[in-house]
């Protein structure tokens, strides 16, 4: 049996256990961990899997996965913060949206389910089109303010504070749904309870893409919403009324904090090892679902 399959079946099906795992993986303090500490953590993981009858292939995998996990937050945080700022002109809004959507599209593409590798011109055009469309759509609030010469404070507040919340969530969903559309069209591999390959399922592919897209919508929607709500409350206090310059650093710090908290939470909303019921599978795969369901790797 695949060790990853066994691990997520035993440890990854509880939401709180998944949150705990992702918080550990994305802990910035682990960047300072020494090689002996990494090897010790790997030994503990190896011992746990051996108790379950499995082996871990390489000690370097622990440090590699930690490096990959920490890099997720490195470039991502600055781009998210900059893209959510109220800009004075359209050009910087488009620039930061383009950087964010490019990084986000690359992340979605790199962490898709790779059951059927068919990367070609169509997929590359799909990625480029998704980035271009999402960048322009993400800058729409600033485009409206500048092109329509909106000077009304309530309307500006709506466009710069309220509209980015559903817009960010919708664009996050859209990016995953389009860039990983190949999984819905060609299917992903599904496995039985023993980890044996049962076949390729389009229904499982659609479910994997939908779950991932919803988790991304939650991540970006919450990251856009909470800092704006916090500023709305703080601006009513005397401290902020007397010191309006405090708004910018509070926005930056709160956005980064919410993003840092929501990243592991969003990754944990659905199990990495997804399950699909027998009746939702294609007819030719239903016979292999001995336990009433099959498993698939959702991607990230």
Written as six digits, the tokens of 244 are 């309006």
Digit-by-digit pLDDT tens for the chain (300 residues) are 444 555 455 455 688 888 888 887 777 666 666 667 667 666 655 555 454 444 444 443 444 444 454 555 667 788 888 888 888 889 999 999 999 999 999 888 888 887 766 667 888 888 999 999 999 999 999 999 999 888 888 898 898 889 999 999 999 999 999 999 888 888 888 888 887 888 888 998 999 999 999 999 999 999 999 998 998 888 888 888 788 788 888 888 899 899 989 988 998 899 888 888 888 888 888 777 777 888 888 888
List, as own/partner pairs, every contact residues 127-134 make where C-beta atoms lie below 8 angstroms and the sequence separation is at least 24, other chains included: 127/179, 129/178, 130/101, 130/105, 130/174, 130/175, 130/178, 130/179, 131/98, 131/101, 131/102, 131/105, 133/174, 134/97, 134/101, 134/104, 134/105, 134/171, 134/174, 134/175
Residues 137-169 have pLDDT tens digits of 999 999 999 998 888 888 988 988 899 999 999
- Residue 206, Ramachandran bin (φ over 0: left; ψ between -120 and 50: alpha; else beta): alpha
At residue 2, φ and ψ (nearest 5 deg) are -65, 125
Residues 168-195 have pLDDT tens digits of 999 999 999 999 988 888 888 888 888 7
Neighbouring-strand partners of residue 190: 199
Q: Which residue, among 265, 267, 273, has the nearest Cα to 295 in the 3D structure?
A: 273
């Amino acid at each position: 049996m695949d060790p990853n399959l066994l691990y997520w079946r035993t440890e990854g099906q509880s939401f709180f256990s998944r949150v705990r795992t992702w918080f550990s993986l994305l802990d910035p303090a682990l960047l300072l961990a020494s090689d002996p500490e990494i090897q010790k953590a790997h030994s503990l993981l190896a011992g746990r899997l051996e108790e379950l009858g499995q082996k871990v292939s390489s000690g370097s995998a622990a440090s590699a996965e930690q490096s990959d996990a920490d890099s997720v937050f490195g470039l991502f945080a600055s781009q998210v913060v900059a893209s959510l700022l109220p800009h004075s002109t359209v050009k910087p809004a488009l620039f930061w949206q383009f950087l964010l959507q490019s990084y986000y599209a690359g992340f979605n593409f790199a962490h898709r389910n790779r059951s059927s590798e068919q990367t070609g011109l169509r997929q590359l055009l799909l990625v480029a089109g998704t980035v271009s469309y999402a960048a322009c759509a993400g800058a729409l609030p600033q485009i409206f303010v500048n092109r329509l010469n909106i000077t009304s404070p309530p309307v500006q507040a709506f466009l710069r504070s309220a509209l980015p919340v559903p817009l960010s969530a919708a664009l996050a969903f859209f990016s995953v749904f389009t860039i990983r559309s190949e999984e819905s069209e060609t299917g992903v591999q599904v496995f039985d309870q023993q980890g044996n390959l049962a076949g390729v399922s389009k229904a499982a592919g659609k479910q994997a893409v939908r779950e991932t897209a919803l988790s991304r919508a939650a991540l970006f929607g919450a990251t856009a919403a909470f800092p704006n709500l916090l500023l709305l409350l703080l601006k009513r206090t005397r401290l902020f009324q007397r010191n309006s310059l405090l708004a910018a650093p509070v926005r930056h710090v709160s956005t980064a904090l919410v993003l840092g908290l929501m990243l592991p939470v969003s990754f944990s909303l659905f199990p990495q090892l997804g399950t699909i019921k027998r009746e939702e599978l294609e007819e030719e795969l239903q016979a292999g679902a001995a336990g009433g369901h099959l498993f698939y790797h959702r991607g990230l």
